[in-house]
Structure formats: structure tokens, C-alpha cells
Amino acid sequence: MPKLDSYLFREFAQATFAALVVLMVVSLGGVFADVLSDIARGRVPAGLMLSQLGLQLLRYLPLILPLGLMLGLLLSVGRLYRDSEMPVLIASGVGPKRLLRPVLMLVVPVVAFIAACSLWLGPWAQDYSQRLIQAGQRTLLVSGLEAGRFTELPGGGGVVYANAMSNDGTQLGRIFIYRGEEGRMDITTALTGSLNVEGTDRFLTLDDGFRVEGPADGGKDFRLMRYVRNDVRLPDADQVTDEDDPERLSTLALFGDPRPEAKAQLHFRFAPPLLALAFALLAVPLARSPPRQARYGRITFGFVAYVFGMVLMLSGTDSLADGKIPAALGLWWLVLPLLAFGAWMYFSDGRMKRPAKA
């Protein structure tokens, strides 16, 4: 590898890695907030927090990596212009076209990884995440129930408290359950309890306890019952997506699926790597700047262009799923013009204009 290519590749790779680290930290905070929200609503077991965090982050990589790649190139090429290295290289015969080799040395592996995440790892992560949630819904752990803490049941159907709980979440001790519906409240206590699953329904079998039922507005119509055994049906947990949901299907399975939602999902998976290549080609001419120009002006412009492209991709995917855009057109109306524009901008960068004829 020529020394110039090695030097430029190292500069591009370091800036891209730094940009990706910052973006991953920011994205991790957002994904962590979403996972905590699902745990608080009883949709995800607390024990699955780390696995769900990793799987959800894997799904968002095809949307994060193109931005990191573009920002890294903008920063590194912009530094070359700002430190007057690019003018020296251009004066010695190394123009923007000569930069194509070190640029592609970085862009090709990153685009290939984006394609792998978008076409394979992302759908696998979505399907595996939903399967973990389905398995967790067969135990009380899906409600985020912990011994010694009041926990809201899924769907806001009430509050449950257990003084003790087994490791698998099926056996409880000293239980308190509050449920409210149509202006009446139902309070149930029990010495012990266990979880039973019948089909898709979940029941708490309570032993040796009391049940008080009456108005919630302060009336006197109360009823007290002592029981030896009482089965309490738990509210349904938030439903996960169906197994035939296009987001959970593999890319190969989407090719044979005639549904508009499947066609939209297929185009949605092919778009990120192609958009990443287009944004990477655009980054080099966008980074061109005089030595004393504002440092972050072009970066802001590139970020706005990325956001605009992603908004068009997401809205186009929704329009495809709704049948407003023909499946044959897909997202090619966005990807191909942007690729052509990026290639034209890259290869025309630095070209001298012909002098006007006298």
C-alpha cells in the first residue's frame, strides 16, 4: 500500500471511529430509555434488559452507521483542507479522484457491514427479541415484579405486591392485589400464590386469603370474603408482533411474500447500504473549504442532508406499505438519484472550469 494511501486511510478511519463512538453513546441512551419504558409498562422482563438493549441497538445500526461514516469523512477531509494539506496534495497532482482509493478502503467494509446488519442481523435481532418477550410473558417476571415492591400490572389493570417470590417468578408469598374497574375496587390478599397458564390466559392461584370488593367513590356497599383458594385472572400483557410480521421475516422470505408491507420492508432493508455509499461520496466534495472558513458549517449541511434523506426513506416505506407507491418503484426514486448525484459531485470536485470564449 502506498504511503499516501496508508496515511489518508488512517486519517479517515480515526475520524470515522470517533464519530461512531459519539453516535453510539447517544443512540445507546435513547435505546436504553425505550427499554426501560417497556419494562415499566410490564412488556419486557427486567431480567431481559441487557439482551433487549443489545438487540434493539443492533436493529438501529443501519441507520446510525451511514451518519457516522459521512461525519467521519467530513471531519477528516475538512481537516486536510483546514491544515492546508489538501492544497499541497492538489498542487503535487493528487486531486479528489486520487482520494478514491483510500476512501473506498474505508467505505467498502463499512457499507458491507451496514448491508449485513440491514439484511440479516437486524431482522434476526427483531425476531429473537420478540421470542424472548413471548417466553417471558409466561411468567410474572414480564410484569417487572420484584419482591417487596408495588408493581403495576400490564395494561394498567391494577397493582400487585408480593413480599416474597421464587427465582422463576411462579411462586409468591404474602400477596396484595388491587384492581379497579367501572367505579369499583377489588382488593385481594393471600398468604401464598402460584402462577398458572392456560393457553394465552394467566391466572394467579391464591391460597388462604381475603377479598374485599366495593365502590371506589366512598360508598358503603362492601363485601368481604374469606377463601381457601381463589383464581385471579391477570390482565393480558402487551401483545408482541405476529410471527409473519414482515419486520421479523428473513430477507429471503420477503422476496416471495406478495403483501405490500413485505415489499416495503424489503426495500427498507436494501436502502441503508446504498444511502451510506451515496452520503460517503457526497462527504468529500462537501468537506472542501478555504482555510479560514467556519469549521462546522459543512458538517451541519451534511447532517441536515442525512436527516432529510432518512425522513424520505421512512415516509417512502410507509407509502409503499399503504400502497400509495407502486412496489416496482420502491425506494429507487430516492436511492438511485442520490447515488448519481453523489458520484457526480465527487468526480466533478476540483474540476477547473473552461475559460469563457472571447
Of 112, 111, 117, 14, nearest to 57 (Cα)? 117
The structural domains of the chain, with segments of one domain joined by +, span 3-136+242-348, 144-233
Query: Which of the pair, 309 or 238, is modelled with greater confidence?
Result: 309
Q: pLDDT tens digit string along 280-295?
A: 999 988 887 766 666 6
State residue 292's pLDDT score: 61
Q: pLDDT tens digit string along 72-92?
A: 999 988 888 887 777 787 777
Residue 356 pLDDT exceeds 80: no
State residue 358's pLDDT score: 41
Residue 1 pLDDT exceeds 60: no
Angle between the N-to-C axes of helices 3-40 and 100-116, in degrees from 0 to 180, rounded to the nearest 10: 30
**CB contact at 8 A, 145 and 160:** yes
What is the average pLDDT across 85-102? Answer: 76
Residue 271 pLDDT exceeds 90: yes
Query: pTM, whole model, 2 decimals?
Result: 0.76
The rounded mean pLDDT for the chain is 83
Residue 70 pLDDT exceeds 60: yes
